[in-house]
């Protein structure tokens, strides 16, 4: 589980989590979202069964890099 991940020591720029449920309110999925939210990550997208999380303090960087 993600709780073994030392987010304070290893601050990844992108975290991807695969959950094989397509139910967006799946209990396990909600636990992951809450855990990462509590550790200052936002869910930025879900593609299929993969959720993508980005540090809240770097979200602006995404928008700036994809401006057209």
Q: Is 29 helix (H, G, I), strand (E, B) or coil?
A: helix
CA distance 54 to 45: 9
pTM metric for this prediction: 0.82
Query: Which distant-in-sequence residues (6+ apart) come within 8 Å of 20 by Cβ?
Result: 49
Q: What integer pLDDT is reported at residue 25 of this predicted model?
A: 83
Q: What are the structure tokens assigned to 61, written together? A: 């960087």
Per-residue pLDDT of the chain (68 residues; tens, 9 = 90+): 677 778 878 888 899 999 998 887 889 999 999 999 999 999 999 998 999 999 999 988 777 777 76
Q: What are the structure tokens assigned to 11, written together? A: 């601050």
């Amino acid at each position: 589980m993600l709780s073994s991940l030392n987010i304070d020591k290893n601050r990844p720029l992108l975290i991807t989590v695969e959950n094989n449920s397509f139910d967006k309110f799946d209990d396990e999925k909600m636990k992951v979202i809450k855990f990462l939210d509590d550790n200052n990550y936002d869910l930025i997208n879900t593609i299929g069964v993969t959720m993508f999380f980005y540090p809240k303090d770097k979200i602006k960087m995404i928008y700036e890099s994809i401006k057209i």
